[in-house]
Structure 1
Amino acid sequence: MEFKKYYLDLILVPLSFMIFFGYHFWLWHKVRTQPLSTVIGTNAHGRRLWVSTIMKDNEKKNILAVQTIRNTIMGSTLMATTSILLCSGLAAVISSTYSVKKPLNDTVYGAHGEFMVALKYVTVLVLFLFSFMCHSLSIRFVSQVNFLINCPQDLTIVTSTYVSKLLEKSFTLNAIGNRLFYSALPNALWIFGPVLVILSSLTMTFVLYNLDFLFGDTKKERTHEVANEV
């Protein structure tokens, strides 16, 4: 009889994880093989061109570079701050003795035991913690770019290729942190039952698909020319 209380959680929640992370694995494969068919690959190619242009004409565009990177740091800082604040709030809820979730026991599907309730909150907490870590590392790399992008071009060590790689590491970590932050939404809805988790994951995957891929004529761009550069 205990399985009847848990079967929805055991089926729908892992399935939602598989859908969400399976989509991102497929997206990663597309970025590696057909970068210009995705927004991520196209933006990465544009950033490499931007770094090369800035470093070639550094005397005229150094202020532009600093201002642009400063805005990037501010965005990552905002996401990192939001993630750690949500972690603090969830930690307070988990450690609190106030039983705010008891009225939900008879109104939602799935398991309602103390272990399952704690698991739901801890899962969301872990996702926010990893999101905070990724955004913090992103700030670290982009801060290095902020110094190196103004180095003279005649130096053999600090080249535009090296600076581009650092910038791409920063944006990759930023993207991973954002996706972990997004994945916390379906898991937060797990508090109200596993059915909302699968519905939210399907909806979010559909929305992200339309945001991550280029359609129409832009998809026919010269993919093979930059396939080895991403």
Structure 2
Amino acid sequence: MHMEWRTFYLDVTLIPLGLLINLTYHVWLWHKVRTQAPLTIFGVDADGRRLWIPAIIKDIEKKSIVAVQSVRNLMMGSIFMANTSILLCCGLGAVISSTCRVRKPFIDSVYEAHGEFVVALKYATIFTIFLFSFLFHSLSVRFLSQLSILICSPQHVITLVTPEYLTDLLRKATILNFLGNRLSHTGLFLLLWIFGPVMAFSCSVAMLLVLHKMDFVAGKQNMNVGIHQGSDIHLQI
């Protein structure tokens, strides 16, 4: 039993630690978005969404192509990531369902023969992560498809399609896209778990350093600009 523990103790320590660091960072990021939104890229994006929809529908006859193209660009990104996630799920499913005769040499050479339990845990974790990534991206496409149709609705008649409703659609699509992307990023470092927990943990730390640079805007001018509207911004994120 002691020898079995020595073969995969890094798996049960480094991988949960990497996931915990990832989760802690995003909880801290969520707190920053709620309290200091202008310092984060999400606060800037939320303010942009709040201004973009009214500006577009105010002159929709001239800007209809711009509106549809912008929404389509967002949709194409979500579709690409959804396709990538489901293809990875299909590949993992094919490996999981393969015969033992084909799978055994691959496990012994790549997984360092850590045992069937750890191998199954790796497969199941990665499969679940990318499956939920596909789910979030597909839901994002659903809201963007609805937005691309409704944004061209005439505003001079009484209608339920209001700027606030359209902004809410864009907000939901953006949040779902963000969740799908972050799950994909998590799945990437978990894919390296196949080649060892040390490589996966190192990738997790490096990925968080890159995400930190991407999630926060440089300079303090955004904080000064958003002082009087900070509460309005974070309520719509």
Alpha-carbon offset, residue 27 of structure 1: 1.1
Q: Which residue does the alignment assign to 1:82?
A: 84
1:176 maps to which of 170, 174, 179:
179
Query: What are structure 2's unaligned runs of at least 5 residues?
Result: none
Q: Bigger shift: 83-92 or 220-229?
A: 220-229
1:64 maps to which of 55, 62, 66:
66
Q: Which residue does the alignment assign to 1:190?
A: 193
Partners of 1:69 and 1:32 in 2: how far apart? 26
Alpha-carbon offset, residue 217 of structure 1: 3.5
Give runs of aligned pairs for residues 94-109 of structure 1, distance below 5 A. 94-97=96-99, 98-99=102-103, 100-104=106-110, 106=112
Q: Bigger shift: 67-76 or 200-209?
A: 67-76
Partners of 1:10 and 1:182 in 2: how far apart? 20
Contact kept, 8 Å, 1:34 with 1:227, in 2: the verdict is no
Matched residue SS, 1:101: helix
Contact kept, 8 Å, 2:111 with 2:119, in 1: the verdict is no
Matched residue SS, 1:151: coil
Normalised to the residue count of structure 1, the TM-score between the two structures is: 0.92
Matched residue SS, 1:143: helix
Equivalent residue letter for 2:63: K
Partners of 2:111 and 2:74 in 1: how far apart? 43
Partners of 2:114 and 2:209 in 1: how far apart? 30
Aligned residues: 226
Alpha-carbon offset, residue 222 of structure 1: 2.5
Cα shift readout 1:101-158 (whole Å, capped 9, x = no counterpart): 212355xxxx710111111111111111000000000001111111221122243522
Q: Which residue does the alignment assign to 2:47?
A: 45
Q: Which residue does the alignment assign to 1:166?
A: 169
Normalised to the residue count of structure 2, the TM-score between the two structures is: 0.90
Contact kept, 8 Å, 1:51 with 1:160, in 2: the verdict is yes
Partners of 1:39 and 1:87 in 2: how far apart? 30
Contact kept, 8 Å, 2:132 with 2:183, in 1: the verdict is yes
Partners of 1:34 and 1:121 in 2: how far apart? 38
Query: What are structure 1's unaligned runs of at least 5 residues?
Result: none
State the percentage of identical aligned residues: 50
Partners of 1:43 and 1:21 in 2: how far apart? 22
Partners of 1:197 and 1:218 in 2: how far apart? 37
Alpha-carbon offset, residue 31 of structure 1: 1.4
Output the aligned Cα RMSD: 1.6
Partners of 1:190 and 1:55 in 2: how far apart? 48
Partners of 1:93 and 1:216 in 2: how far apart? 48
Matched residue SS, 2:232: coil
Contact kept, 8 Å, 1:45 with 1:226, in 2: the verdict is no
Q: Which residue does the alignment assign to 1:15?
A: 17
Matched residue SS, 1:153: coil
Equivalent residue letter for 2:67: A
Partners of 2:37 and 2:145 in 1: how far apart? 26
Cα shift readout 1:176-218 (whole Å, capped 9, x = no counterpart): 1011001011111111221112211110000000011012234
Contact kept, 8 Å, 1:142 with 1:166, in 2: the verdict is yes
